[in-house]
Chain A
Amino acid sequence: MSIDKEESVKKLFTAESAKVDTNKGDAFYDELYIQCQKRIEDLRKLEPLNNRMDFTKSIEEQGLERRDFLKWASATTAMMMLPASFTPLVAEAAVLMNRVPVIWVELQDCAGNSEALLRSDGPQIDEIILDIISLEFHETLQAASGHQAEKQMDEAMEHFHGKYLLFVEGSIPMGMDGQYGTIGAKAETFHEHLLRAASGAAAVVAVGSCATYGGIPAAAPNPTDAVGVMDVIKGKPVINIPACPANPSNMVGVLLHFVLTGTIPELDSLLRPKFAFGYRIHDNCERRAHFDAGEFVEEWGDEGAKNNFCLYKMGCKGPMTFNNCSIIRYNEGVNWPIGVGRGCIGCSEPDFWDKYAYERPMANAHIKAPTGGVEKTVDEFGLGLLTAASIGIGIHAAASAVAGKKAEGGQY
């Protein structure tokens, strides 16, 4: 790895842009509150785009309590890193989400993000489809095929010109003049299809690792010259929601933020919403205490594994990965990769397939300590925190430095 690349990665971990400011002061939030109120008033004046029922009515009809809805709104407010006083506004915005049309296109994808959307629980997918958003085009879900499908998209683009959010799943193959992927009777390339779909969008939301940074098709040697949306779309807001797949809560969060404020959320230098990608996995990991205590899983299924010890030595990339999965988890909070005893593979970071997605630890990654601004290696960082537990950290530092066991065959 070249010095340049190492420098750029170090810069990424220490970038100001990754720092999330959870309290921006009363003046900031007062102003935002007024902005949101005005936005909601404006939306109220609009007819729903499709005259669908509103969210509250829908949940009442399904026998859910208003209290449950507010509970959801409260949790979502916290997820978006807004003060609790915003909860009623978030609830209002959710009710008005059917004013925002969505067109969802699939390029070099595996449908994993569409599948993830189907797992959305807050709000639930049937509400999303029928009541909440105006989902105008979605190949995996829509009834029409063939020219009827093409017409559906053309009409939606025209009808909602300048208003719709374009969600993009999958990377864009740029090799061979884009012909690695075509769609429709005229065999439009994915590149052309994306440019056309984006032309009338208010903003473009790239969902999942492929759409954000190229993902698996772009892994070395990148056979099709695949790239992410932000490499192709210029002159229009692009929001990246990486991860493989993206967490549906973050998809809803971005959508809701747009409804609530009329603007896109604050983004980091990689165009990720800070509310979701402002922390490292490591910062909020349930196994963090074991890292600090120098207690590690040393091989799959050992005593450490049975005791939920830290997975760093088994290759966990939580310390260098920015995402909120350690907070919100997956599938309605049922589990997440570290919960299941397999370390983080860094799927919300660029090039993670070549940098992180392997079973061994990174011995020399320089990361910024969450408790201070000082850049340290993971081992130094562990030492700094663990002045007392000298035995534990001794094991940690020694073993991590040589990257573990003989099984790795002296690769390190």
Chain B
Amino acid sequence: MTETAEEHGFHKTDANGNKHIIVDPITRIEGHLRIEAVIDSNNKIVDAFSSSTMFRGIETILKGRDPRDCGLMAMRICGVCTGTHYQRSIEAVEDAFNITIPKNARLVRNLIQGSLYVHDHLVHFYHLHALDFVDVVAATKADPAATAAEAAKWAKVAGVAPYTSDPAEFKVIQDRIIKFVKEGRLGIFGNGYWGNPHYKLTPEQNLIGVAHYLKALDIQRDMAKMQAIFGGKNPHPQSIVVGGVTCVQDIQNPARIGLFKQLLQDSTEFIKRAYLPDIYMAGTMYADEATDKDATFKGVGGTGGGILSYMSYGDFRLDDTGFYNSALLFPSGVVLDGDISKAFDLDETKITEDVTHSWYEGTGAPEHPYEGTTIPKYTGLKEGEDGYKYLKTDEKYSWIKSPLYDGKKVEVGPLARMVVGYVKGDERIQKYVGNFLKRANLPITVLFSTVGRTAARAIETELMADVMLEWVDELAKNAASGDLSTWTDFDFDVVSADSKGRALSEAPRGSLGHWVKIKDGKVENYQAVVPSTWNAGPRGPNGEVGAYEGSLIGTKVADPEQPLEIIRTVHSFDPCIACAVHVVDTKGKELAVYKVDPTCAF
């Protein structure tokens, strides 16, 4: 019995006939994530648990350091959203020091960050998510001429010319895949869920997907170059410092700005002529999953809709009035329980983290990040009779904490940003979301689903590419006017004596906050609450389900042996698990003893 279960990918069947599935590793994400799901005899997921199985302890490592150095280290929380953590960490210190950066620095940071958004969203859709919609093997059966016609059809829906229109080009790619599939091992495409009935694209549509998967590998290198122009390299850029940026020579050189603009324009072509048409195509083919036929998700949204409460800290400063006074590209706010008639203003004092179901010692109540403690209490997994290990879901079961807003679980990310902006009446967001829905001929509630979450990310990518073009022109104009100022001076001894600051804004994956307390020129406490903590966290203190868990419950799987629907929905959040688990204090190590030698090592 056990052997059969193992072979089939579920590891035990309980007394009620429910299958318990362990999906570990979840691949095509950043970091280490385990999902356990309980599937009933109708193949419906009746319970789901999200757990992270790795941590490193970067907040602890930051304690005692010079606050000016935190950015470089905090950035290493993640190698994907790396520039975001960098910028947030620097901004938290700038907030503590009460520094307003010059215009050039703001624009450069926006461009570095914007490059990351378009890069990250593109890589996410094609390389981390598309294989949940696109059946690579089925693409071998496509007719290249019909494929070109199909591509033209979806480009027309998007109101553009198709990115790839030549049947011969599709033929070349198809031949490449046919050899790959027919003659040899499949490499990274090996052992996928190919042929699963929940792959709904036609062979031609699959071939379009594969062709753009390969092309996007190319385009993303250009997008990374954009970040490197002002950031020095990608991943892990290096030009942001407390007070501003260092890349003055790249600002004063029109050729550098010109190169940035050229790369942005090339990227925008792909976004508008391949990415968006592909989203219209996938959205239409999977549209029935985006409506809530069974009213599982409170009558709005569809498969993967989840908890229907959304939060955005807001991001991208549009003027130089400084922290928390500037106009923002993405507004901050909260939309609760799928009610799109009103948005609430964000109150940052309502942000807390709970550890009831996380492998940490609790103080009895959820804590605000300024006061956050992280004392590990690892209680492990439970070994089953079948030799597999199961999460102790009634107790603690993840290294990720459980963040709450006003005691509630909320979802963060591109969907949350689009929903909050839309409900708040932001003109730009209403225009981009409205245009998409009109062309797709769908109501806004379809966005509350796995497919909709993926669409919201694409809508945001187009918006971002367009607005970056405005910013790069603004930077060129400002530099040409003779303003080469990139840094604001400050007296470190005075400002670092005793202060605290925070940076609340957005990463591509959602709301990201860094909180820092500084004493005598050193970091006294450091906490980061990251997007994937909000989305991937375990149950709250009263059993509140998080976004991953909530979006899986109620989903019907075609074949429990191939949990395609689970990875599709989890992927739609763009998980970044190393980000989510960066916290740890350790027993057995006296942190007080540790000091960074200011003369550094010698």
Is this pair of chains taken from one and the same complex? yes
Q: Which residues of A contact B193 (CB under 8 A)?
A: 143-144, 148
Contact-size category for A: 35 or more
Q: A219-B61, A365-B602 are in contact. Are A52 and B380 (CB under 8 A)?
A: no
Smallest CB separation, B155 vs chain A (Å): 22
- Which of B252, B489, B591 contacts A306, CB < 8 Å? B252
- Which of B187, B249, B485, B493 contacts A129, CB < 8 Å? B187
| In the assembled complex, B80 has its CB within 8 A of some CB on chain A | yes
Across the two chains, which residue of chain A brings its CB closest to B576?
A: A111
Q: Which residues of B contact A136 (CB under 8 A)?
A: 185, 187-188, 190
B residues 496-541 in Cβ contact with A at 8 Å? 521
Is the CB–CB distance between A138 and B188 below 8 Å?
yes
Q: Which residues of A contact B188 (CB under 8 A)?
A: 129, 135-138, 141-143
Residue interface mask B158-188, A partner, CB < 8 A = 1: 0000000000000010001001100111011
| In the assembled complex, B6 has its CB within 8 A of some CB on chain A | yes
Contact-size category for B: 35 or more
Bound Cα distance from A52 to B175, whole angstroms: 11
Is the CB–CB distance between A301 and B9 below 8 Å?
no
Bound Cα distance from A216 to B584, whole angstroms: 14
- Which of B244, B563, B601 contacts A301, CB < 8 Å? B244
Bound Cα distance from A226 to B58, whole angstroms: 12
Q: Which residues of B contact A340 (CB under 8 A)?
A: 230-232, 237-239, 246-247, 250
| In the assembled complex, B491 has its CB within 8 A of some CB on chain A | yes
| In the assembled complex, B25 has its CB within 8 A of some CB on chain A | yes
Bound Cα distance from A341 to B105, whole angstroms: 13
Across the two chains, which residue of chain B brings its CB closest to A308?
A: B249
- Which of B61, B486, B599 contacts A220, CB < 8 Å? B61
B residues 383-424 in Cβ contact with A at 8 Å? 387-389
Smallest CB separation, B398 vs chain A (Å): 12
Is the CB–CB distance between A337 and B601 below 8 Å?
no
Is the CB–CB distance between B26 and A145 below 8 Å?
yes
Is the CB–CB distance between B56 and A135 below 8 Å?
no
Stretch at the interface among A86-94, A197-205, A404-412: A404-412
| In the assembled complex, B72 has its CB within 8 A of some CB on chain A | yes
Bound Cα distance from A371 to B217, whole angstroms: 43
Bound Cα distance from A166 to B589, whole angstroms: 33
Q: Which residues of B contact A365 (CB under 8 A)?
A: 602
Bound Cα distance from A175 to B89, whole angstroms: 28
Stretch at the interface among A229-237, A255-263, A356-364, A388-396: A356-364
Across the two chains, which residue of chain B brings its CB closest to A331?
A: B228
| In the assembled complex, B322 has its CB within 8 A of some CB on chain A | no
Is the CB–CB distance between B185 and A337 below 8 Å?
no
Q: A330-B232, A356-B600 are in contact. Are A49 and B185 (CB under 8 A)?
A: yes
Give the residue among A126, A129, A330, A362 with the most B Cβ atoms within 10 A: A330
Bound Cα distance from A137 to B27, whole angstroms: 10
| In the assembled complex, A355 has its CB within 8 A of some CB on chain B | yes
Bound Cα distance from A223 to B252, whole angstroms: 43
Q: A118-B220, A340-B239 are in contact. Are A141 and B485 (CB under 8 A)?
A: no
Across the two chains, which residue of chain B brings its CB closest to A217?
A: B56
Stretch at the interface among B28-36, B139-147, B296-304, B440-448: B28-36
Q: Which residues of B contact A107 (CB under 8 A)?
A: 54
Is the CB–CB distance between B217 and A118 below 8 Å?
yes
- Which of B60, B191, B239, B598 contacts A412, CB < 8 Å? B598
Is the CB–CB distance between A355 and B80 below 8 Å?
no
Across the two chains, which residue of chain A brings its CB closest to B567?
A: A145
Bound Cα distance from A323 to B55, whole angstroms: 29
Q: A109-B578, A124-B218, A148-B191 are in contact. Are A301 and B486 (CB under 8 A)?
A: yes
Is the CB–CB distance between A301 and B485 below 8 Å?
yes
Is the CB–CB distance between A109 and B79 below 8 Å?
yes
Bound Cα distance from A215 to B73, whole angstroms: 10
| In the assembled complex, B487 has its CB within 8 A of some CB on chain A | yes
Q: A49-B184, A223-B586 are in contact. Are A411 and B598 (CB under 8 A)?
A: yes
Across the two chains, which residue of chain B brings its CB closest to A358?
A: B69
Q: Which residues of A contact B187 (CB under 8 A)?
A: 50, 129-130, 134-136
Q: A142-B27, A146-B25 are in contact. Are A216 and B185 (CB under 8 A)?
A: no
| In the assembled complex, A37 has its CB within 8 A of some CB on chain B | no
Bound Cα distance from A281 to B46, whole angstroms: 57
Smallest CB separation, B508 vs chain A (Å): 13
Is the CB–CB distance between A359 and B389 below 8 Å?
no
Q: Which residues of A contact B601 (CB under 8 A)?
A: 1, 5, 9, 351, 354-356
- Which of A106, A143, A146, A224 contacts B563, CB < 8 Å? A146
Smallest CB separation, A129 vs chain B (Å): 6
Is the CB–CB distance between B72 and A185 below 8 Å?
no
Closest 4 CB pairs of A and B: A112-B79, A50-B184, A223-B57, A143-B192
Residues of chain B whose beta carbon lies under 8 Å from any beta carbon of chain A: 6, 9, 11, 21-32, 53-58, 60-61, 66, 68-69, 72-73, 76-80, 82, 123, 127-128, 131, 136, 172, 176, 179-180, 183-185, 187-193, 214, 217-218, 220-221, 224-225, 227-239, 241, 243-244, 246-250, 252, 259, 378, 380-381, 387-389, 484-487, 489, 491-493, 521, 562-563, 567, 578, 584-586, 589, 591, 594, 596-602
- For the A-B complex with A221-B589, A301-B484 known, give 16 more contacts whose Cβ atoms are closer than 8 Å: A50-B183, A108-B54, A109-B578, A110-B82, A113-B79, A115-B79, A135-B187, A139-B28, A140-B128, A143-B192, A149-B25, A180-B584, A183-B24, A300-B486, A330-B234, A340-B231
7 contacts between A and B (CB under 8 A): A48-B184, A109-B79, A140-B29, A147-B9, A148-B192, A152-B191, A223-B60
